[in-house]
A and B are shown apart, each in its own frame.
Chain A
Amino acid sequence: MTDTPVLSVRDLVVEIPTRHGVLRPVDNVSYDIHAGEILGVVGESGAGKSMTGNAVIGLLDRPARIVSGEILLSGQPIQGLKRDAIRKLRGKKMGMIFQDPLTSLNPLLTVGDQLTETILEHLKVGQTEARKRAIAALEEVGIPAAAQRINSYPHEFSGGMRQRVVIALALCAEPDLVIADEPTTALDVSVQAQIVALLKRLCRERGVAVMLVTHDMGVIAEAADRVAVMYAGRLAELGPVREVLTQARHPYTAGLMASTPLASQGRKRLRQIPGSMPRLGALPTGCAFHPRCEFAQDKCRQEPGPTLDRCDGRAACWFPLTAKQEVSA
């Protein structure tokens, strides 16, 4: 993995000015994703996972905005580009998949319309060719009888099929990067696995870089190559999925693992992390996790929050866990 990463996020800071002060839903986040790699991003709601994805693709809702940091797409900086320039990158260079396939598709247009529209927008092809590719895209995501279903309206598909259509849409202009924002959350469990498998297959076959945002450790374990754990807008831990899952270094990651039922973990009792994530407007000083951390020491409370590069490069923690430490209840 020495080639240029498809996506490179450097010290990204997103702020939302409110009348109660400025909030930082994304605070100094840095990571890379390479071609053919799936980066899982996990965390609780409000940890900044989706916001990071939105920032990358340039779809932050007002009044949220990027205040500093860099986003490099195949080595080219894209933050600060003109609206139309970044629009042209969306779909073409980076695609996005949303959580709810029921609402992601325009109910009044056939899936074919929506596919060809996207293809025509980004690729220099004619109407017939676009249609051919649309059918191919549907076939690729496993829609049976794609040539007929292309004229169907979204409501004529089941939930899982709709998410396949959404994936086809995100990939139809052959982007290098796909941001999948909770792509399985709204689906039945049996369908979830299919979608995850599909994502994985497409990633491998096409060499696409995937940023898989989810709160589901199971999905991460199943699909991701590397995982980034976010807490209160900051990266808590970043590393290869095997290592992070089996040997969490950040107490938060460890807590998260302990509270997740994973088949690989065997029959242990599930545990909870005490307390809840603080609101962005009321972050504690020092490490944002310290009020909930059983290993917290004075340093955690007093010094500015730890970052990956100031710690061991994997976990943003002054006192990373070692193999022997166990998180107790």
Chain B
Amino acid sequence: MKFQTGILTAALLASTAIGASAETLRWARAGDSLTLDPHAQNEGPTHTLAHQIYEPLIIRDMTGAPQATLATSWAPSADDPSVWVFELREGVKYHDGADFTAEDVVFSINRAKSENSNMKELLSSVIEVRAVDDYTVEMVTDGPNPILPANLTNLFMMDKGWAEANDAVDVQDVEGGEQTFAATNANGTGAYRLVSREPDVRTVLTQNEDYWGMDQFPMEVTEIIYTPIQNAATRVAALLSGEVDFIQDVPVQDLGRVADTEGLVVKTAPQNRVIFFGMNMGADDLANDDVEGANPLADARVREAMNIAINREAIQQVVMRGQSQPAGMIAPPFVNGWTAEMDAVETDVEAAKALMADAGYGDGFSIQLDCPNDRYINDEAICQAAVGMMAQIGITVNLDAKPKAQHFPLITNAETDFYMLGWGVPTYDSEYIFNFLVHTRGDERGSWNNTGYSNPELDEMIVSLASETDLDARNEAIASIWNVVQEETLYLPIHHQVLNWGMTDAVGIEVSPEDDPKFKFFEMN
């Protein structure tokens, strides 16, 4: 295996002269972008494609760090902590030649906040957006919101004039039966312009010669041919046979083969996603177990026993081929609030058995585990491994693995008692996790909390995080919330996913934790 290190690439990067020749990059990944409308879907592959064509005010660069894009600087207003002021980049033009101005920002933010937008939750704190002048925008939030800029990294700026001229002011409304112009056409400020697109088949992008960042970024890829290839074996075969230059989603078992192939390299990086099991501890009795009149999962000792019965190292080593990082908490390491101590769990089957006996389940019980089989890396195999580990402490697990379209509704509709879930944190802050996974399930928060766990005291602390401006106090609150979560064994964390990109050795790029290659950063040797 010859996984290149970042340092090595950096050295290469420095030594290679920037070539101006035409470089076509043939790119494949498992899924296609769902729509070109930048506000219609809040979803990885859709954003990845959009990032080549459109730009937000701020992006995350390939290491995940914020980088000024259409905004050159941003800061809370000196007068009002609830107002963020953005200075915009001047001289930026859309692909059709129109100028980028504050008006477009106001239009785009409002569009993203509209009812049919899938991005509106990220802007739920934003009350008003106003243009101060052509290149200054203010966003008013419902209270001080220190993390607002982090929510803007996937919020793309559309041209108001173009949208109005093409009747694309509204975000895609599936029910209405009319498609928007913006779903199949694109006019952004990004480094690449759309040449042609056949959804699920082929999308061709070409370099935007008038791009404002022509001199700031490598811009060595001049043409991008993007083909989704669903079947993992076919995707790897396409890379091995030289039909594509760059693939995302390399199956972990094929990393070795790709790396050993002449002219191909594999690069890996930890992903912003943690995989874990959730348990229904709130119900009085479970529908999917064999214990009558009681809920074994309501007992913290049982949850703890299950937690320490999971051999995370074995899963990492065998199921994931080393391509994962065992997890003890449900926060990726990049996230504010993460600590190394909490992220470690010792496997101890004997102690687990003792805990089970203590809890009165020495003879075990049986329960159904719901698991997706097409969502996370080796999801089904992980669940299978867990079945074996649970069996060792007497818990008979009936594994029900199914497509994600059937799996996630179970969580949404609270129909599962033991389930797998993966979670990414786009804001890089623990508050996001608490809001969705820890807070009592309700209309506003806790929508992914299927555990039935409800702690009003904790809920109050979670809600208060949003308006806490003192970062130290806020971090302290986050730490104490985590303490409760860990003590209660609210979830059974498995691991942090690792991202793998396979590419020809001509491609010079490092893996980004968001799994979103931005081709303007790519070097081509």
| A and B in contact, CB less than 8 Å | no
Show the binding face of A for B, using Cβ within 8 Å. none
Show the binding face of B for A, using Cβ within 8 Å. none
